[in-house]
Amino acid sequence: MSKVCFASAKLKELRAEASLPAKFLRMLDGYPLKDMFDGKTVAIKMHLGGNLGYTTISPLFVKLLVGKVKDAGGRPFITDGTYSIPGAKDRGYTEDVLGAPLVPAAGLNEKYFVNVPIGYKSLKEAELCGGR
């Protein structure tokens, strides 16, 4: 059975240790990250937004995760579907900020993807990516 961890976003006091980023770090410390990532290349799949979209995870949390993966001996990179990487910097997702490169899931030339009809509610098709 999978383990689900939860950290409340509610701030009980104005101290750095009570902040959501600090809670996230403590939550990550509860995982055997070295066993999971040591010596491995680690894809961190993100939704990087698009156009004026802003429903993304704050780059701060991604940076913290990247740091933990590196501390555990992993080589992380950030990835998302086609054509999302170029606009990601507008939302603060850059290698300088995150500490890991951004690599398109559809390959560096963004050509390894296929649209698959799924017919789910308002989502008629899904784009499946895979780099070579």
- Over residues 43-70, the mean pLDDT reads 91
Give the Cα separation of 32 and 54 in Å (integer): 32
Give the Cα separation of 7 and 23 in Å (integer): 6
Give the Cα separation of 81 and 42 in Å (integer): 16
Give the Cα separation of 86 and 72 in Å (integer): 29
User: Does the pLDDT at position 126 exceed 90?
Assistant: no
Contact predicate 30/36, CB 8 Å: no
Contact predicate 113/128, CB 8 Å: yes
pTM over 0.75, yes/no: yes
pLDDT tens across 78-106, in order?
Answer: 999 878 888 898 889 999 999 999 998 88
Contact predicate 54/17, CB 8 Å: no
The residue extents of the domains of the chain are 16-99
The pair of three-digit structure tokens given for residue 79, joined into one six-digit string: 């990835």
- Over residues 114-125, the mean pLDDT reads 89
Q: What angle do CA 72, 102, 48 make, to 5 degrees?
A: 105
